[in-house]
Amino acid sequence: MAAISSLVGSVPQIIPSSKICRDDGYSRRRAKNSVVSIRGSRLPLFSSQTRSLLDVGPGRSSLLRKKSSSWEQRISIFGEPLIGASFPQKYNSISSSFCKSRCSSWQNRSRHRLRMSTPSAFPDRTSFSLSNRKLEKAFVKDVHIPFATVGPDEPHAASTSWPGGILEKQEPDLVYSGVEQTEVEAFLSSELPSHPKLYRGQLKNGLRYLILPNKVPPTRFEAHMEVHVGSIDEEEVEQGIAHMIEHVAFLGSKKREKLLGTGARSNAYTDFHHTVFHIHSPSSTKDSDEDLLPNVLDALNEIAFHPKFLSSRVEKERRAILSELQMMNTIDYRVDCQLLQHLHSENKLSRRFPIGLEEQIKKWDVDKVRKFHERWYFPANATLYIVGDIENISKTIYQIEAVFGQTGQENGSAPTPSAFGAMASFLVPKLSAGLTGNFPTERLSDSIDQTKFLKKEKHSVRPPVKHNWSLPGSSMDLKPPQIFQHELIQNFSFNMFCKIPVNRVQTYGDLRNVLMKRIFLSALHFRINTRYKSSNPPFTSIELDHSDSGREGCTVTTLTVTSEPKNWQTAIRVAVHEVRRLKEFGVTEGELTRYIDALLKDSEHLAAMIDNVSSVDNLDFIMESDALGHTVMDQRQGHDSLVAVAGTVTLEEVNSIGAKVLEFVADFGKPTAPLPAAIVACVPKKVHVDGKDETEFTISPDEITAATRAGLEDHIEPEPELEVPKELISSSHLQDLRQERMPSFITCSPETSMTRIYDKETGITRARLSNGISVNYKISKSEARGGVMRLIVGGGRATESSQSKGSVVVGVRTLSEGGRVGNFSREQVELFCVNHLINCSLESTEEFISMEFRFTLRDNGMRAAFQLLHMVLEHSVWLDDAFDRARQLYFSYYRSIPKSLERSTAHKLMLAMLDGDERFVEPTPSSLQNLTLQSVKDAVMNQFVGNNMEVSIVGDFTEEEIESCILDYLGTVQSAKNSDIEQKYDPVVFRASSDLQSQEVFLKDTDERACAYIAGPAPNRWGFTVDGKDLFESITDISSSDDAQLKSEELVVETQHSQIDLQRKLRGHRLFFGITMGLLAEIINSRLFTMVRDSLGLTYDVSFELNLFDRLNLGWYVISVTSTPGKVHKAVDACKNVLRGLHSNKISQRELDRAKRTLLMRHEAEIKSNGYWLGLLAHLQASSVPRKDISCIKDLTTLYEIAAIEDVYFAYDQLRIDDNSLYSCVGIAGAQAGDEITEVEEPEGGLPGVFPVGRGLSTMTRPMT
Active-site residue list? 246, 317
User: Residue 223 forms beta bridges with which residues?
Assistant: 279, 386
Cα–Cα distance, 1140 to 477 (Å, whole number):
64
Closest C-alpha among 641, 690, 1251 to residue 1004: 1251
Residue 292: left (phi > 0), alpha (psi -120 to 50), or beta?
alpha
H/E stretch holding 211 reads strand 208-213
Task: Give the containing element (helix H, strand E) for 745.
Answer: strand 745-746
Q: What angle do CA 996, 329, 1251 make, to 5 degrees?
A: 35
Residues 997/1186, Cβ–Cβ less than 8 Å: no
Residue 788: closest CA among 336, 1173, 298, 318:
1173
Query: What SS3 state is found at 72?
Result: coil
Count Cβ neighbours within 10 Å for each residue of 1231-1246 and write b for 16 or more, e otherwise: eebbeeeeebebbeeb
Residues 423 and 620: their CA atoms lie apart, in Å, by 26
Strands 839-844 and 848-856: antiparallel
- Print burial letters for 391-428: b (CB count within 10 Å at least 16), e (below 16): eebeebbbbbbebbbebbeeeeeebeebebbeebbebb
Question: Bridge-partner residues for 842, per DSSP?
Answer: 124, 851
Give the separation between CA 626 and CA 226, rounded to whole angstroms: 11
Strand-pair partners of 493: 562, 682
Alpha-carbon torsion angle 962, 963, 964, 970, nearest 10 = 100
For residue 223, give the nearest of 443, 389, 444, 408 by alpha carbon.
Answer: 389
Cα atoms found within 13 Å of the Cα of residue 1243, Cβ hemisphere only: 23
Q: 950 pairs with which residues across the strands?
A: 774, 792
CA distance 676 to 478: 7
Amino acid letter for position 382:
A
Angle at 1017 (CA atoms; ends 1013, 1019), nearest 5 degrees: 135
CA gap 1082, 1078 in Å, rounded: 7
CB 79 within 8 A of CB 65: yes
DSSP string over 117-149: S---S--B----SSB------SS-------B--
Which helix (H) or strand (E) element contains residue 1083?
helix 1072-1088
SS3 75: strand
Q: Is the peptide bond before 472 cis (omega within 30 degrees of 0)?
A: no
Euclidean distance between CA atoms 929 and 199, whole angstroms: 62
Rg of the chain over all Cα atoms, to the nearest angstrom: 29
- C-alpha to C-alpha distance for 105 and 21, rounded to whole angstroms: 10
In angstroms, the CA 804 to CA 412 distance is: 78
Contact call for residues 749 and 1189 (beta carbons, < 8 A): no
**How many Å apart are CA 1104 and CA 1016, to the nearest integer?**
12
DSSP string spanning 390-455?
-S-HHHHHHHHHHHHTTTT-TT-PPPPP-HHHHHHHHHSPPPPS---SPPPSB---TT--TTS--S
Q: At what angle do helices 26-33 and 331-343 cross, to 10 degrees?
A: 80
